[in-house]
Amino acid sequence: MSISLDQQTQKENYDVALAIKLLKSFNLFLGIWYNHFNAILVDAGEMASEIDAGNNFESIPRHRVRRRKRQFDYENQDEPIIDTQGKYKIEFFYDLDDTVISSLEERLS
């Protein structure tokens, strides 16, 4: 019988050792999940087609990029991300995953 992390932590009397074990396994899962972005996109596309929703990324309106004057030549200028899928991957998926992983590691240490 498998007990989910959510069910275990919401019980009035719960086993702390089991909760920590579940948190560690969830943290391991997130580390694996981090490297499977393309598989997640395929699954999301299949779910979107089942409910007749669009499974593509909306194009981002382009605005003039504000340039800051650099004091030193070795400071590289950041190029804007043009690919909408890459922008989603970097600015949302990785950011969310990093936040969750670091929060879990902070609580488990």
Q: Note whether residue 71 is domain-resident.
A: no
56 within domain boundaries: yes
Comparing C-alpha atoms, which of 57, 3, 42, 55 is closest to residue 25? 3
Compute the distance between CA of residue 26 and CA of residue 20 in angstroms, rounded to an integer: 10
Each of the 109 residues of the chain gets a pLDDT tens digit; together they read 345 766 766 777 777 787 788 888 888 888 888 788 888 888 888 888 888 877 676 766 666 667 677 776 666 666 777 788 888 888 888 888 888 888 888 877 7
How many domains are contained in the chain?
1
The amino acid at 99: T
Question: Is residue 66 included in any domain, yes or no?
Answer: no
Q: Does some domain include residue 38?
A: yes
Q: Can you give the residue range of the structural domain that contains 47?
A: 27-60+82-108
